[in-house]
Chains A and B, each alone.
Chain A
Amino acid sequence: SAVISQKPSRDICQRGTSLTIQCQVDSQVTMMFWYRQQPGQSLTLIATANQGSEATYESGFVIDKFPISRPNLTFSTLTVSNMSPEDSSIYLCSVEVLAGVEQFFGPGTRLTVL
């Protein structure tokens, strides 16, 4: 299994600003993913965070809006840039451990943009 922490757990931000969300795992993992869950909706994958290379983004998500870093096998950040109220969502980090097939999810970051 893997224990995942996210910081911050929640934030209220002004439009036009940016927020960086951190995801820390207690063990080395092969895959790290970032998801978004808009109010009342299911989860949507934003991107796969690749260690040592650029993230792989899903359709509808771009690097300029959601830059991602993954400097090592236990840590990743997602930045939500130039925020608007439509970015108000829960942002979740998930990981796949080295030898497993399950994906484990962090507790999420609840973002409200005013």
Chain B
Amino acid sequence: DAKTTQPTSMDCAEGRAANLPCNHSTISGNEYVYWYRQIHSQGPQYIIHGLKNNETNEMASLIITEDRKSSTLILPHATLRDTAVYYCIVRVGNAGNMLTFGGGTRLMVKP
């Protein structure tokens, strides 16, 4: 699976949009981009995933560049409960394969 690069940490003001970047320059055509987050002392939580089109759900939006070498997770109105470590993962295929976790981005939402 392709390796991802994320900033170690980011801050965001409560109520503002949080934009979390991820580089995956070696991604191949059959690899999807997944985002998970881990709130302290809990198991990781699925947020969103995509292949090449932008995706949106009730939690977040995923913007993937046209060359698919990078993506951005957007939390439109961050709350204090969004403070967590956010993991960007690329995975072969659509199901049945392991997730390879990198270091992630520690997002701190501040009042």
Bitwise interface map of A from 78 to 107 toward B, beta carbon under 8 Å scored 1, else 0: 000000000000001010100011111111
Bitwise interface map of A from 50 to 69 toward B, beta carbon under 8 Å scored 1, else 0: 00000000100000000000
- Chain A nearest Cβ from B111, distance in angstroms: 26
Bitwise interface map of B from 65 to 107 toward A, beta carbon under 8 Å scored 1, else 0: 0000000000000000000000100000011101111111000
Residues of B within 8 A of A33 (CB): 98-99
Residues of B within 8 A of A48 (CB): 98
Name A residues whose Cβ lies closer than 8 Å to a Cβ of B: 4, 30-31, 33, 35, 42-45, 48, 58, 92, 94, 96, 100-108
Establish whether residues B96 and A30, one from each chain, have CB atoms under 8 Å apart when the complex forms: yes
Question: With the chains together, A61 CA to B102 CA distance in Å?
Answer: 18
Name B residues whose Cβ lies closer than 8 Å to a Cβ of A: 32, 41-46, 49, 87, 94-96, 98-104
How many A-B contacts at CB < 8 Å in the complex?
47
Select which of B32, B43, B87, B104 is within 8 A of A92 by beta carbon: B43
Question: With the chains together, A44 CA to B102 CA distance in Å?
Answer: 9
Residues of A within 8 A of B96 (CB): 30-31, 96
Establish whether residues A43 and B44, one from each chain, have CB atoms under 8 Å apart when the complex forms: yes
Establish whether residues B49 and A101, one from each chain, have CB atoms under 8 Å apart when the complex forms: yes
| Residue contacts A-B, CB under 8 angstroms, 26 given | A30-B95, A31-B96, A33-B98, A33-B99, A35-B101, A42-B101, A42-B103, A42-B104, A43-B44, A44-B101, A45-B98, A45-B100, A58-B98, A92-B44, A96-B95, A100-B95, A101-B32, A101-B95, A104-B46, A105-B43, A105-B44, A106-B43, A107-B42, A108-B41, A108-B42, A108-B43
Interface of A is mostly: strand
Establish whether residues A103 and B46, one from each chain, have CB atoms under 8 Å apart when the complex forms: yes
Residues of B within 8 A of A30 (CB): 95-96
Closest B-chain residue to A103, C-beta based? B99
Establish whether residues B94 and A107, one from each chain, have CB atoms under 8 Å apart when the complex forms: no
Residues of B within 8 A of A100 (CB): 95
- Chain B nearest Cβ from A108, distance in angstroms: 5
